[in-house]
Amino acid sequence: MINEALIVNENFLKNKIGESFDTKYRSLKIPAFNNAEAFIVYISGMIDARVIDETILEPLMKYSKLPQGKLQVKGAEPISILTEQGVFTTALKETRQWEEICDAVMEGDTILFIDQCPSALILTTRKYEGRTVNEPSIESEIRGPRDGFIENIQTNAALIRRRIKDYSLRFDNMKIGERTKTVVSVTYIESLVDEALLKEVKSRLEKINVDGIIASEYIQELIEDSPFSLFPKMTNTERPDKACAALLDGRVLILVDNTPFVIIVPTVFWQFLISSGDYYEKFYLATFLRWVRIIAMFLSISASSLYVLLTSFHQEMLPTALALKIAEGRQGVPFPAVLEAAVMEIILEIMKEAGLRLPKPIGQTISIVGTLVIGQTAVAAGLVSSFLLIVIAVAAISSYAIPSYTMSNALRLVRFPILILTAFFGLLGYLAGIITLLMHLMSLRSFGTPYLSPVIPFDKNGNKDVFIRTPWWKMLNRPKFVRSKDRARQTSNLKPKPPSEK
């Protein structure tokens, strides 16, 4: 509880939050209250100076309508008068709690203390420097909206509100992190969301007891099912349109302050193969693109393993002309196929990793050198076969055809054990790898939802938006696996018809 004596309060605050260069304690006298002593405190980099000047200091200095007979400054009266008379045009809150005051200062609010008053006023003056809303960097689409989430949770909430004007849209905030006190918002549409799912999300978040949350990925690791699995059981998105579509399915979003990535739960495997752009194209093209991605996923996992399988174990399975061509390419290569493939895969990973960190101006040069040295020269020197280079390149490009970066990374790691198993056991090794992977995927759940839903377990309605993207007028229900309260998405008979048939 704060003290009536101004100096005690000031000393307490200086002791508690320090006197750093950006922490400002500004003393003043209020003419309206017989020049009563007062001070304001704020953190300079987190406030809007114009707001402090125009909506706090100026009204305070000019205010002169002191009620008759109230010349003595005593008790909480000045604070109450300022509040009741509407002196400040910014949002405000009266408080006596130090914890609330300190939290408010840390969040960029300004606190007004007046001598002999046992309470203080929290005045909203927050303004953070940050990016403006711009196009998402890793989820860009050819068509569709160009805005993306940013680091400011308020802006992100507004981006959602602009799209969904449902009265039952809810943002339930909590603060996580003993020291960072990061604002985390559980967002959902109350009339759609499954209560059990919501309860589970909240309970997992409430259990988090860490000192800091810097990004949404921290939350993800702390609440994810099967934490040892390579595969992501939650979706991250930078796209407000994707997040809103998830809300309309009955899912829950987790917004984390200071992170442009919003978490979507529950998540199923197939979501990682679906791109927001699928809904902005004709459904034929969207379906075709999904199959392209499925093939790309298969190739990214299997291409190098199949190369080893066919060249080292089962050459007889290749058409003769192709087998001869591969054999010709491998002539003079001093390494077994598996070593050749593994070394090339690792070199490719090194190039990818280096490419991420290279400064832009030299990135291109290094790429060319890398491609020429590793590619052409290695083939010319007879260290690797040209056919293997094609296989490795196909696998690498395929992994980037998968819309989700996190899933693409998981698949990058999966292909190494499959390659090793294939190298030792041929067909049996390859099948063992694929079957183990499938069984693992089947054992996973995301907040109670089987990871391979709606394919396994099979749900006919849910499959309208997995391997094929049916037209909007056919997607009458929300996916069953989300367990939404209101399954009906729209009325039937929405298929456009010529006027004569109506």
Return d(Cα 150, Cα 256) in angstroms, integer: 10
- Choice between 76 and 441, CB closer to another protein: 441
Return d(Cα 245, Cα 163) in angstroms, integer: 10
Shortest reach from residue 442's CB to another protein, in Å = 5
Strands 120-123 and 445-446: unpaired
Give yes or no for a contact between 103 and 17, defined as CB atoms under 8 angstroms apart.
no
Shortest reach from residue 313's CB to another protein, in Å = 7
Give yes or no for a contact between 174 and 180, defined as CB atoms under 8 angstroms apart.
no
Return d(Cα 339, Cα 341) in angstroms, integer: 5
Phi-psi region of 124 (alpha: psi -120 to 50; beta: other; left: phi over 0): beta
Nearest to 338 by CA among 303, 304, 314, 315: 304
Shortest reach from residue 439's CB to another protein, in Å = 5
- Choice between 317 and 397, CB closer to another protein: 317
- Choice between 99 and 316, CB closer to another protein: 316
Binding site for another protein (CB under 8 A): 313-314, 316-317, 319-320, 425-429, 431-432, 435-436, 438-440, 442-443, 450, 452, 455-458
Return d(Cα 250, Cα 253) in angstroms, integer: 10
- Choice between 69 and 319, CB closer to another protein: 319
Task: Give the CA radius of gyration of the chain.
Answer: 30
Nearest to 194 by CA among 449, 14, 441: 449
Beta carbons within 10 angstroms of residue 188's beta carbon: 23
- Choice between 52 and 310, CB closer to another protein: 310
Shortest reach from residue 337's CB to another protein, in Å = 16
Return d(Cα 318, Cα 432) in angstroms, integer: 22
Strands 235-237 and 169-176: unpaired
- Choice between 318 and 476, CB closer to another protein: 318
Shortest reach from residue 440's CB to another protein, in Å = 8
Residue 265 carries which DSSP code? Answer: E
Residue 356 carries which DSSP code? Answer: H
Shortest reach from residue 445's CB to another protein, in Å = 10
- Choice between 277 and 429, CB closer to another protein: 429
- Choice between 61 and 324, CB closer to another protein: 324
- Choice between 168 and 443, CB closer to another protein: 443
Output the CA angle 143-147-153, nearest 5 degrees: 150
Return d(Cα 131, Cα 127) in angstroms, integer: 12
Shortest reach from residue 108's CB to another protein, in Å = 49
Shortest reach from residue 300's CB to another protein, in Å = 18
Return d(Cα 502, Cα 500) in angstroms, integer: 6
Beta carbons within 10 angstroms of residue 441's beta carbon: 15
Shortest reach from residue 315's CB to another protein, in Å = 10
Shortest reach from residue 272's CB to another protein, in Å = 19
- Choice between 382 and 457, CB closer to another protein: 457
DSSP labels for 356-390? HHS-HHHHHHHHHHHIIIIIIIHHHTTSS-HHHHH
Beta strands in 14-72 (DSSP E): 23-30, 36-43
